Amino acid sequence: QKEVEQDPGPLSVPEGAIVSLNCTYSNSAFQYFMWYRQYSRKGPELLMYTYSSGNKEDGRFTAQVDKSSKYISLFIRDSQPSDSATYLCAMSRNQGGKLIFGQGTELSVKP
Amino acid sequence: EADIYQTPRYLVIGTGKKITLECSQTMGHDKMYWYQQDPGMELHLIHYSYGVNSTEKGDLSSESTVSRIRTEHFPLTLESARPSHTSQYLCASSETRGNRQNIQYFGAGTRLSVL
């Protein structure tokens, strides 16, 4: 069983929709949670970084962590065609520890 | 934008060739990593380094080797490429101190095809 599970999609939504991307994990020791965005033929770039449970908002993006359910989410409000990319969740047990990545969810936002 | 560079971006070679994938960063990061990424699959760590003259194998077994002679440079070498090595290779780096140690900065990747 993989430590981190992420639905690979693809997910297609119309412009302006609210998008919900999710990951589940099995190791309760994970404390640091990240979302990376990867455009086609590019490397991943950090989008959101959170520690422990709770919500973090940055513009149209909200990251949510529920450690009791071992579930993290990324919400994108008012989605734009420029949000079309693959979104990877990643997590770590401690500062400087190894990152465990999900498979990535491919998102397409149609104009 | 992260200051980490990978060359070449694309490489098509024949079986049995020796190749070196280059990775350089200008952020002064001590930690550097190599990942392998296949379509629809998670990133797999194949090598990492915590500083000059330090290299370790990652979780995914790989026939490649790495070296770390300078802080900014972390090349990956395949002595004899095979079609099974066809993949995207991503290089990353991260800080060693502070509260952002988990954040890895990635290069654009090298897409390797071995015929």
**Would you give per-residue pLDDT tens digits along chain B (115 residues)?**
569 999 999 999 999 999 999 999 999 999 999 999 998 888 999 999 999 999 999 988 788 999 999 999 999 999 999 999 999 999 999 998 887 888 999 999 999 999 9
Average pLDDT over residues A35-58: 93
Of how many residues is chain B composed? 115
Tell me what pLDDT residue B87 has.
95
- With a cut of 90, say whether residue A52 has pLDDT above it: no
Which chain A residue shows the shortest CA-CA distance from B109?
A43
Q: Which residues in chain A have their CB less than 8 angstroms from residue B111's CB?
A: 41
Q: What is the 3-state secondary structure (H, E, C) of chain B?
A: CCCEEEECCEEEECCCCCEEEEEEECCCCCEEEEEEECCCCCCEEEEEEEECCEEEECCCCCCCEECCCECCECCEEECCCCHHHCEEEEEEEECCCCCCCCCCEECCCEEEEEC
Q: Closest CB to A34: pick one of B6, B102, B108.
A: B102
Tokens of B86: 């066809």
CA A107 to chain centre: 11
Pair A47, A97: CB distance under 8 Å: no
Distance set, CA B37 to CA A29, A88, B6 (Å): 25, 12, 15
Tell me what pLDDT residue A20 has.
97
Residue-wise pLDDT tens digits, B78-87: 999 999 999 9
Tell me what pLDDT residue B41 has.
86
